[in-house]
Amino acid sequence: MSNMRNDWKLKEVLELFDKPFNELLFDAHDTHIKNHKKDMVQVCTLLSIKTGGCPEDCGYCSQSIHSEEPIEATPLMSLEEVKKQAKLARDQGSTRFCMGAAWRRPSNKNIDRVIKMIDAVHELGMESCVTLGMLSEDQAVRLSKSGLNYYNHNLDTSREYYTKVISTRNYQDRLNTLKYVRESGIKVCSGGILGLGESRDDRAKLLIELANLEHHPESVPINMLVQMEGTRLYDNKKIDELEFVRTIATTRIMMPNTYVRLSAGRESMDESMQALCFYAGANSVFYGEELLTAPNVEVEKDRQLFNKLGMKIEGDNDQIDKLNNSKLPKIEKKQNIYNLKLIN
């Protein structure tokens, strides 16, 4: 395992970004195979357990009440529906089940209900992850005592660019939640979004914020902006595909032991671009047809791509062994695990 650094400077990170493309990818791939099982991909599933009605004004998000075309708010999903979706995700090869709720911060009553969902995920033999907004120190401790494995709380972009994307909270609010999560003993999942209109300097500064934490996040999701109608960032200029791959490679070099996850925006990437990202050090994906409110690559297409690339799903159970050694049957759209039954 490579030594973890927490002293990255902007100049040296920009020098990584500026390397000739093939040299950067070679260095990133070399770092990757020294620290992770090669040709293995971690598969996670993300389920929206409470959609819409969020008071935050994130410029990229249709779940915000500030969006011109906000998604209709839904109540918190029933425990039985969560169990059903988690079991289906497990049977399709996911080893981690992440549940997201569109809250600024959860109430203690809602924490109680989410803890029951976490218990249900663990009963299925899966790792748990939640993303619920900002947490208090006490709430982080409660989630830790429940056995929660991961908490996702993205920084989104650089400290300097953050106010151009979000005004209803500040960057330190995000860092405080990460601090409480880490101190409680929960593993950290935190990354960012590319294509918000940020510069390369902003992308480098985002990675510096993450890599210079006392402990690197165990998971770093790198998202490509999914443009949602009605949001302030709709019709933003898309990030160059090779720049996205460069960011994946730089992330891998700076945080060698971290799982680097291809997250939102993957449905717009062709197989060649995804293959470059995997070579550059990405070793985790979200599996399924939808990420919260954005489309994602279908399960069957993912399996076909993994087969083409000679990649295997990471995990150690009979179900994953079976999936790695057999063809996944065609899944009809009606079986979309995000056709959700909600309670009032």
Q: Is 246 a catalytic residue?
A: no
Q: Are 81 and 340 in contact (CB under 8 A)?
A: yes
Is 277 a known active-site residue?
no
**Annotated catalytic residue within 44, 96, 113, 129:** 129
Whole-angstrom distance, CA of residue 16 vs CA of residue 208: 12
**R_g of the chain computed on alpha carbons:** 19
**Residue 54 appears among annotated catalytic residues:** yes
Would residue 261 show up in a list of annotated catalytic residues for this protein?
yes
Cα three-residue angle 268-271-273, rounded to 5 degrees = 75
Q: Could you give the 3-state DSSP secondary structure of residue 40?
A: strand
The string of DSSP letters for 167-230 reads -SS-HHHHHHHHHHHHHHTPEEE--EEE-SS--HHHHHHHHHHHHTSSS--SEEEEEEP---TT
In this structure, how many other beta carbons lie within 10 angstroms of the beta carbon of residue 159? 17
> Which one of the listed residues 189, 203, 246, 303 is annotated catalytic?
189
Q: Catalytic residue among 44, 61, 277, 303, which?
A: 61
> What is the separation of C-alpha 274 from the centre of its chain, rounded to a whole number of angstroms?
16
CB 159 within 8 A of CB 182: no
Tell me whether residue 266 is one of the annotated catalytic residues.
no
Q: Which tokens hold the place of 277? A: 């990202």
| 61 is a catalytic site residue | yes
For 247, counting Cβ atoms within 10 Å of its Cβ (0-12 exposed, 13-18 middle, 19+ buried), the class is buried
Catalytic pick among 90, 96, 261, 266: 261
Choosing from 54, 96, 246, 277, the catalytic residue is: 54
Selecting among 44, 58, 142, 252, the annotated active-site residue is 58
Two structure tokens written together for 222? 């790198």
> Checking phi first, is residue 85 left (phi over 0); if not, alpha (psi -120 to 50) or beta?
alpha
Tokens 């839904």, residue located: 74
Strand partners of residue 187 = 150
b/e 55-91 (16+ beta carbons within 10 angstroms → b)? ebbbbbbbbbebbeebbeebebbbbebbbbbbbbbbe
**Residues designated catalytic:** 54, 58, 61, 98, 129, 189, 261
